[in-house]
Structure 1
Amino acid sequence: MSSSRPVVTFSLLILCATLSLAGTDLILPAVPQLPAVFATNEATAQLVLAAYVGGSGFGLLLFGRLVDRFERKALLVSSLAAFAIAALGCAFSPSIGVLIGLRFAQGAASAAAPVFGPGIIRQLFSDKAAVRAVGFLGSVESLVPALAPILGVALLAHLGWQSSFELLAALASAAAVLIAMLGMPRTQRARGARGGYLQLLTDRVFMRYALSQAMTLGGLITFVFGAPAVIVGTMGGTLDDFIVMQVVNVAGFIVTANLSARIAERLGAEQVILLGTAMAAASALALLAYGLAGGADSMILTLLFLPMAIGLGLRGPVGFYRGVVAAGGNDARGSALIVFFIFMMTTMGTVLAAPIITRGLPALALVASAIHLASVASLLLLPRMQETVSQAADPQR
């Protein structure tokens, strides 16, 4: 493989990951128009989003199993083709029911990149470079929820609600052609690689990294999902205050995620994972204390939330990568389970917070604190990998 090929392959992985996220964020601005387009109600229109998320969860587990039977390149190209076809079908759907069904299929197809990406990155780079690549990928992914809706608004205003789906179809088709032409590294299962999902679910070392990763990210997303209602509904703020909070904390995450590998070289991967997890938990507890004290200043809210984003950026790349390594060469299923757990933790946190969100910041922060404290507990109670030198900080394979 030429020296430029890993960079090209990694760039294609970034495109695939971006498409997976844009499948929701790009079409968000069009959703309010769907009831008028299809003569339905708002609740049914929201299923267009829910179906994509549900399909993604199904696809994660599906691709984790298919990788043992089919070549990874073929699966990735096929998934992109299916994603493009489903997106194009969405643009020409005759009814809301068809649109919802196609969105489930599109979501399932979108899951290939999260499943295969970490394993491909592990093959492309040394361990230290791979952690940096995961951090950079996370930085790009963190920008999609902020930038994709802006593009979606522009497309909606000038080209109509179908244009977002058409753009997704065109980009996915281009990615499929490029991957088919340029290729991907062939799947390499490590010696002693473990088998199915059940074996990973009963592996306490793997579950240590998978659960702590999922709970740290899930706790943060739970808070973000509930923050607009809290800021506007109970703190007397505006959506502009929420946007400021997001900009500050996304910036904090991006900076820290790209420094994570270097910090791990100095402190050690396990110390960085525990430090980042503890920072996130401390942030949630500080928000809880501020809410119980009757605090209502959105700027203080932003500053108290910042350590949660920084903590995730600090532990996220190293923690995710070590979770993949802990899967024992079963990269695809390990990645699938970690992302699946993130989905489940976010869903659980959102469901728990929804009935009490009207009680304001203390209620939302209480749910986030419980999730983050459980993340810390998983690190303390479950066994770590037994390397003397952290793979995440080791420049050699």
Structure 2
Amino acid sequence: MAVKRHCEQPLYDYAPPPDSQRNQSVKKSTTVILAGLTMVGPLAIDTYLPSFHAIGQDFAVSDLLVQQTLSVFLFSFAFLMLFYGTLSDSFGRRPIILGSLAIYTVASVGAALAPSFGWLLAFRCVQGLAAGGGAVISRAVVRDRASGAEAQQVLAYMMMVFGLAPAIAPILGGWLHVTLGWRSVFWFLAAFGLLMLITCYRALPESLPASSRHAFHPGLIAANYWKVLRNARFLLLAVSIGVAFSGFGLYIGSAANFVIKILGLSETAFGWMFIPLISGMTIGSALAARIARKVAPTRMIAVGYAVMVVAALANVGYNYAFKAAVPWAVLPLMLYAFGLALATPTLTVLALDVFPDNRGLAASLQSFIQMLLFALVSGTVAPLLFESAFKLACGVLAGLVLSIVCALLARRLRRA
């Protein structure tokens, strides 16, 4: 049983949910802030993609080595996600968010000023370590303040706002790169980090009261991690989300090759790939939020997976029969993103609800598993496939099959 730490006066004042009831929806302004926090990581991943070749030329390194600036970011991003949730369970959500944003902003400035490729790689690592705080803790904040269909709605709205980041980022990054050079991209990331830091400091209340916090004790924390890690249903749900989302990772890790070499477009044309992807996710998220109270969770998941299967098969079929070209090469990706957005909020709520007393820790581990799979696919699988549109399509289908198997096994365990 978890031991809780009681404080007479917490570091930051606790603000109760609207109407002082936990099952009330999170305020719209807070939802927007939480969605902004989830954008920090995607912006750091996607905004500099059009600058890959320029960074390699500037530092006289190969494209494969420049790819490691993405891999290092993703692996460090995933690693510290393991701990953000449990730290917020002990010290509150707000101080951990503010600390991570401050470090992220400083690291972004360091990347903008990097005198060598080694320094750029180091600052990207620090960026990754800091960028995951908001992504993890925002989910815990939602579950602190909402439950059931309302939590699904808030997560769907967050996903909808979050979806704007990968759509805007590479387009903005391409224009920044062409106009001001690749270093301007990292100055933009620093400015966004500072904006979120100021916004959270002024407008994001604490959602976890001192009476609900757990003691920061290594033995107790290790026991709680072990409790979560040995729960097969939680792990299957987390992996099902991660491998389904890894279809994004495969194309994001291959973005420079896919857009410039396979599709034959310019550095300012990344919108051809990202706008359909994120449009599908945004529309799917909006629909998921709208019907969350009307559709049973199992049906929502089934419909989402059915749409993804159709999209993945269409992607494989098109790229087998034809040479990849816009718009046909990206339309299946839009449909896949739509199905993913329908299924993900419900799967996330089901995973976090396995451990209602350790939501921060559960959010950490779920995010860690998702990002670890994303990093593995982006950093190791994508370079093996990114010369061929057909191979990329087959990779997405393989990940989806694994996701479906995990989701079905998790459902069977719930019934048992």
Shorter-chain TM-score: what band?
Answer: 0.7 to 0.9
CA distance in 2, matches of 1:160, 1:288: 36
> After superposition, where does 1:206-225 map in structure 2 within 5 Å?
206-222=234-250
Q: Once the 2 structures are TM-superposed, how far is the Cα of residue 88 of structure 1 from its aligned partner?
A: 1.7
CA distance in 2, matches of 1:349, 1:44: 16
SS at match of 1:111: helix
In the alignment, which residue of structure 1 is the partner of 2:74? 53
Assess if the C-alpha contact under 8 Å between 2:236 and 2:406 holds in 1: yes
> After superposition, where does 1:10-159 map in structure 2 within 5 Å?
10-38=31-59, 40-159=61-180
In the alignment, which residue of structure 2 is the partner of 1:254? 282
The answer to whether 1:371 aligns with 2:399 is yes
User: Matched residue pairs, number?
Assistant: 382
SS at match of 1:112: helix
SS at match of 2:205: coil
The answer to whether 1:168 aligns with 2:189 is yes
Q: Once the 2 structures are TM-superposed, how far is the Cα of residue 9 of structure 1 from its aligned partner?
A: 2.6
Quick one: structure 1 residues 286 and 31, their matched pair in 2 at CA, closer, same or farther if it must change by over 3 Å? closer
Q: Once the 2 structures are TM-superposed, how far is the Cα of residue 269 of structure 1 from its aligned partner?
A: 0.6
CA distance in 2, matches of 1:31, 1:295: 28
Assess if the C-alpha contact under 8 Å between 1:283 and 1:304 holds in 2: yes
SS at match of 1:153: helix
Quick one: structure 1 residues 296 and 49, their matched pair in 2 at CA, closer, same or farther if it must change by over 3 Å? closer
In the alignment, which residue of structure 1 is the partner of 2:351? 323
Assess if the C-alpha contact under 8 Å between 1:118 and 1:134 holds in 2: yes
Q: Once the 2 structures are TM-superposed, how far is the Cα of residue 113 of structure 1 from its aligned partner?
A: 0.8
TM-score (norm 1): 0.82
Assess if the C-alpha contact under 8 Å between 1:281 and 1:376 holds in 2: no
Q: Once the 2 structures are TM-superposed, how far is the Cα of residue 151 of structure 1 from its aligned partner?
A: 2.3
In the alignment, which residue of structure 2 is the partner of 1:312? 340
Q: Once the 2 structures are TM-superposed, how far is the Cα of residue 104 of structure 1 from its aligned partner?
A: 0.6
Which is further off, 219-228 or 83-92? 219-228
> After superposition, where does 1:316-355 map in structure 2 within 5 Å?
316-349=344-377, 351-352=380-381, 354-355=383-384
Tell me the alpha carbon deviations over residues 356-390 of structure 1, each in whole angstroms, 9 at most, x when there is no partner. 555652x3333322221121111222246869xxx
CA distance in 1, matches of 2:111, 2:254: 29
Q: Which runs of 5 or more structure 1 residues have no equivalent in the other structure?
A: 388-397
Q: Once the 2 structures are TM-superposed, how far is the Cα of residue 315 of structure 1 from its aligned partner?
A: 0.6
What one-letter code is carried by the residue in structure 2 that aligns with 1:204?
A
Q: Once the 2 structures are TM-superposed, how far is the Cα of residue 22 of structure 1 from its aligned partner?
A: 1.3
SS at match of 2:70: helix
What one-letter code is carried by the residue in structure 2 that aligns with 1:56?
F
Quick one: structure 1 residues 232 and 208, their matched pair in 2 at CA, closer, same or farther if it must change by over 3 Å? same
Tell me the alpha carbon deviations over residues 53-84 of structure 1, each in whole angstroms, 9 at most, x when there is no partner. 22211221131342344222111111111111
Quick one: structure 1 residues 223 and 148, their matched pair in 2 at CA, closer, same or farther if it must change by over 3 Å? closer
Quick one: structure 1 residues 232 and 8, their matched pair in 2 at CA, closer, same or farther if it must change by over 3 Å? closer
The answer to whether 1:197 aligns with 2:218 is no
SS at match of 2:32: helix
Q: Once the 2 structures are TM-superposed, how far is the Cα of residue 268 of structure 1 from its aligned partner?
A: 0.2
CA distance in 1, matches of 2:331, 2:182: 37
Q: Once the 2 structures are TM-superposed, how far is the Cα of residue 333 of structure 1 from its aligned partner?
A: 2.4
In the alignment, which residue of structure 2 is the partner of 1:395? none
Share of identical aligned residues, percent?
24
**CA-based RMSD:** 3.5
Paired residue for 2:306, among 229, 254, 278? 278
Q: Once the 2 structures are TM-superposed, how far is the Cα of residue 184 of structure 1 from its aligned partner?
A: 2.4
TM-score (norm 2): 0.78
CA distance in 1, matches of 2:375, 2:359: 24
